[in-house]
Amino acid sequence: VGVKFEMREEETHFPAKLRLGFFLGFLLIAFNSIRQVESSIHEYRKETFIPQSDAFFFHGGSEGLFASKVVDQASSPENKGYKGRSFIRFESVTFLRTKESAEKQNAMQQYTSAVEAIIVEVKDRGRIGGDRKSV
């Protein structure tokens, strides 16, 4: 009562093809799960602020934009309150003023070393400042 079992050639390669299919499927899922990130680097060397209306503008890119984590952890005070929203953080930014400018003190300023910055989009630049005649 011996039964002889014979496999055809295409049946013997099926397990190898199956393994290859699983491997390729795994690679496809793995590569599609990687998040793509785009960035830009702009170098500003000795560029100056441009006077417009009663303010000075510096046209820059979006280098300071950061995205917070969507899921905030209660133990993480640095992300508290952002809840996935983007924010701007200045890192390695240096403001230089002439000695004459540093010696001038506005009545609204307590210290001459204070630097005040307002971040606006280019499309909104005409909406800030006291003089709205020409921007």
CB contact at 8 A, 47 and 54: no
E-assigned strand segments in the chain: 50-52, 55-57, 65-67, 86-88
Q: Which residues contact 42 (CB under 8 A, 6 or more apart)?
A: 60, 61, 63
Res. 91 pLDDT band, cuts 50 70 90: low
pTM given for the model: 0.31
pLDDT for 81 equals 60
More confident residue, 73 or 30: 30
Quote the CA–CA distance of 9 and 18 in Å, as a whole number.
15
Percent of the chain with pLDDT over 70: 39
